[in-house]
Chain A
Amino acid sequence: MDVLDVSLRIGGVLLAFLLLPLLVGQAEHKVMAHMQGRLGPMHAGGFHGWAQLVADGVKFAQKEDVVPQGADRTLFRLAPAVALIPYLIVLIAIPVGPGGMVGEVIDAGIFFVLAVLGVGVLGSLMGGWASANKYSLLGGLRTAAQLMAYELPLILAAASVVMAAGTLSLPGILDAFAWWWVPWQLIGGFVFFTAGIAELHRPPFDAPLAPEEIIFGAFTEYSGLRFALFLLAEYAGIVVVAALTAVLFLGGWHGPLPDQLGWLWTTLKTAVLCFLVIWARVAWPRLRVDQIQRFAWTVLVPLALAQIALTGVVKVVFL
């Protein structure tokens, strides 16, 4: 094990983990603002409010950390860490470019990634239960229901890509990729991306948070740094889901330019998908809890099963 190489890779992953969510957050500020005919933050940092999130971070760090009297203190304090760390761990397995441009090649990559992604949601559940607040409890229950409904289409859609590639390794899947996979796996890509957004509780699937209704659900009682870590987890989640969709369904580093520029394609595809996540927040109103459940079980799960059938038939009959 080359110490320098490993520490460089881990450093790179940590840097991406701290930087990319901020970029997505700032992009959300500005994109939402312009879509709604506003300017968004313009003051902080001087140029188009680029330092707004830095200012937010400074504010969060200075705020008092209030733990409610009746709360389960240990769980309450631990929850933001549980929500955040899995997304850092997932980033190490996502390939950025060909020829070893990946934090670490893991043989059962896609399995590993899905397993670790599921852990992140536990942070919201812990926070929702530990707060001893009725709004938080409701938010936690909604989070649990949403996790159960959308984990399944997510896994089934990922399994379809595994069938197409015949390997569980993420770089292996990209090595097997050909351009016509995009139309072939289109339904699966839609299911995976939608289910991913739903697991992150992004609008229109944000009934577990619903600030106007149950006051941020599981996060009602959080303030200061711990609340900031939950927000960081949300935006890190957007980056991870977008990057995974790009790798699994849009061909990751494949593109018209030479292989050395593969990382550019991965970044570009991830950025476009992040933009779609932001756009969805502006475009659609929040779905009701029962609508969210019905959409998962009667639309996404059957679509994912159909995609598996399609993948199987094409793979066995035509290839």
Chain B
Amino acid sequence: MPDYFHGYAVVGLVAVVGVLFVAVAFTAGRLLRPVAPTPEKLLVYECGIDPVGEGWAHTQIRYYLYSFLYVIFAVDAIFLFPWAAVFAADGFGGVTLAEMFLFLGFLAAGLFYAWRKGVLTWT
């Protein structure tokens, strides 16, 4: 167990180094750069025309069905890793291979269904 935590302790240290790097960069930037705000400068950029409406405008999200598809597939894919690490170990072999094709079959059938339903076409 100590070894296990040692690895992630170093990772934590790297994260601290990263945060320090960004903090130093931002502080140095604050010291170096000029500050001269004008109302025009603080407008959002819309190709030089005064912005119309607010920035968080309504827009049609065309691919939200993809996100459902992604959630389903991603959960499956995460469960793949522990299986992948042991599937060819002694005593598994043929059975796990059959399981794998079952799993791939489900995924492929799901994808095929989504495709036939028109999820993968631009709406």
A: which residues have CB within 8 A of B? 1, 6, 9-10, 13-14, 61-71, 77, 80-81, 84-85, 88-89, 92-93, 103-107, 110-112, 129, 131-138, 141, 144-145, 148-149, 151-152, 155-156, 159-160, 162-163, 166-168, 215, 220-221, 224-225, 229, 289-290, 293-294, 297-298, 301-302, 305, 308-309, 312-313, 315-317, 319
Interface residues of B in 27-67 (CB under 8 A from A): 28-30, 32-37, 39, 41-47, 51, 54-57, 59, 61-63, 66-67
Nearest-CB distance from B20 to chain A (Å)?
A: 10
A sample of 18 inter-chain contacts (CB < 8 A) reads A1-B9, A6-B10, A64-B34, A65-B30, A70-B55, A81-B19, A85-B18, A88-B14, A92-B14, A133-B46, A134-B55, A134-B59, A135-B45, A152-B70, A155-B74, A166-B85, A225-B26, A301-B111
Of chain B, the residue at the smallest CB distance from A133 is B44
Q: Is B116 an interface residue (CB 8 A)?
A: no
Cα–Cα, bound, A117→B19 (Å): 16
**Residues of chain B lying within 8 A (CB to CB) of residue A137:** 55-57, 59
Nearest-CB distance from A222 to chain B (Å)?
A: 10
Decide: A297 and B96 in contact? CB cutoff 8 A.
no
Of chain A, the residue at the smallest CB distance from B77 is A155
Decide: A156 and B28 in contact? CB cutoff 8 A.
no
Given A14-B17, A61-B28, CB of A132 within 8 Å of CB of B87: no
**Residues of chain A lying within 8 A (CB to CB) of residue B108:** 302, 305
Nearest-CB distance from A65 to chain B (Å)?
A: 6
Given A148-B70, A166-B89, CB of A63 within 8 Å of CB of B33: yes
Give the contacting residue for B22; candidates A13, A70, A84; CB below 8 A: A84
Nearest-CB distance from A291 to chain B (Å)?
A: 9
Cα–Cα, bound, A64→B8 (Å): 38
Decide: A65 and B33 in contact? CB cutoff 8 A.
yes
Given contacts A152-B70, A152-B74, 10 further A-B contacts (CB under 8 A): A6-B13, A68-B55, A89-B11, A103-B14, A112-B11, A148-B70, A152-B77, A155-B77, A166-B86, A229-B25
Decide: B28 and A132 in contact? CB cutoff 8 A.
no
Decide: A138 and B59 in contact? CB cutoff 8 A.
yes
Decide: B18 and A149 in contact? CB cutoff 8 A.
no
Decide: A132 and B18 in contact? CB cutoff 8 A.
no
Of chain B, the residue at the smallest CB distance from A291 is B122
Decide: B46 and A159 in contact? CB cutoff 8 A.
no
Interface residues of B in 82-115 (CB under 8 A from A): 84-89, 93-94, 96-97, 100-101, 104, 107-108, 111, 114-115
Decide: A152 and B84 in contact? CB cutoff 8 A.
no
Decide: B84 and A107 in contact? CB cutoff 8 A.
no
Given A163-B84, A163-B87, A166-B85, CB of A141 within 8 Å of CB of B61: yes
Of chain B, the residue at the smallest CB distance from A145 is B63
**Residues of chain A lying within 8 A (CB to CB) of residue B51:** 133-134
Decide: B10 and A10 in contact? CB cutoff 8 A.
yes
Decide: A105 and B28 in contact? CB cutoff 8 A.
no
